[in-house]
Amino acid sequence: MTLENISCNKSFGGWHKQYRHDSSTLGCTMRFAIFLPPQASEQQPVPVLYWLSGLTCTDENFMQKAGAQRLAAELGMAIVAPDTSPRGEDVADDAAYDLGQGAGFYLNATQAPWARHYRMYDYVVQELPALIEAHFPVSQRRALAGHSMGGHGALTIGLREAARYCSLSAFSPISHPVACPWGKKAFTAYLGEAPQHWREHDASLLMREASQGLPTLVDQGLDDSFLTEQLMPEQLELAAQHSGYPLTLRRHAGYDHSYYFIASFIEDHLRFHARHLGLTG
């Protein structure tokens, strides 16, 4: 598969690069960003943290606002940030910010007109890692993290595809989407009106039934305006207690839903993943 490099910036001895490629999974042109630490080489491939962003975001939000490159360079960890949905003139869209382009919800849509392009689950799980591992000096040791809608994606994908990842983390995830407005709207559009088709994309329901799990860290700000209606972290916590899932859920007074919150605790998440990726003891 051909990659087109569209930007390149040196950062903390490594390189931040953006690429464009034609996705066979999504049927459109996609963009992603990758940070390669200075340790990355063909002789020393490095593990990868895949970051999934939230509603309205692109690959740029995390890479430009989170401040993750310094510690990633020190640890020897690559970071890959895909876009949040398929995009293009022939890709279905909606006028609202929480449906359509920028709001892929990291699932495979089954309903028209979304099913033609909206297959972000397969893109994140299969196509993107295969592309990254074929073109860059990285290993098959992967971790998965995200924010808000991307936190939902990281948790649900990690819960369903545990063999592919070493660890999971999330900031302010949509923890129980079958019961919140964002989730109900997106799932009805993408998956249809039957709630039984929504369950496999709900982190709380998946975690409640999990027989084994990956080390998982979740951070939630208590001044998050979406906390009660949309995010419902208490449901995730109850699910982990029920199944014995290895979840650490931390609550932080005064923090909101923004990248100021993410930047404040991203180093904790990178060190958490580094331990499970075998980069530190």
Q: Does the annotation count 53 as an active-site position?
A: no
Whether residue 15 contacts residue 36, with contact meaning beta carbons closer than 8 Å, is answered with yes
Determine the average pLDDT of the residues in 86-109: 98
Among this protein's residues, is 83 annotated catalytic? no
- The catalytic position among 117, 152, 257, 273 is 257
Specify whether the CB–CB gap between 92 and 116 falls below 8 A: yes
Angle at CA of residue 194, ends 90 and 227, nearest 5°: 80
- The conformation of residue 118, written as its DSSP 8-state character, comes to -
By DSSP bridging, strand 78-82 and strand 138-147 are unpaired
Q: DSSP class of residue 180?
A: S
Amino acid at 99: L
Indicate yes or no: pTM above 0.85: yes
Residue pair 156/58 in contact (Cβ under 8 Å)? The answer is: no
Note if 135 is an active site residue: no
Q: How confident is the model at residue 1 (pLDDT cuts 50, 70, 90)?
A: low
Give the ranges where the chain is alpha helix by DSSP (H): 60-65, 69-75, 120-122, 128-135, 149-160, 181-191, 203-208, 233-243, 259-276
Average pLDDT across the chain, whole number: 97
CA–CA distance, 37 with 279 (Å, rounded to integer): 13
Q: Which of 224, 264, 273, 276 is catalytic?
A: 224
Average pLDDT estimate for 87-92: 97
Report whether pLDDT(203) > 70: yes
Of 53, 85, 148, 204, which one is the catalytic site residue? 148
Q: What's the pLDDT band for 27 if we cut at 50, 70, 90?
A: very high
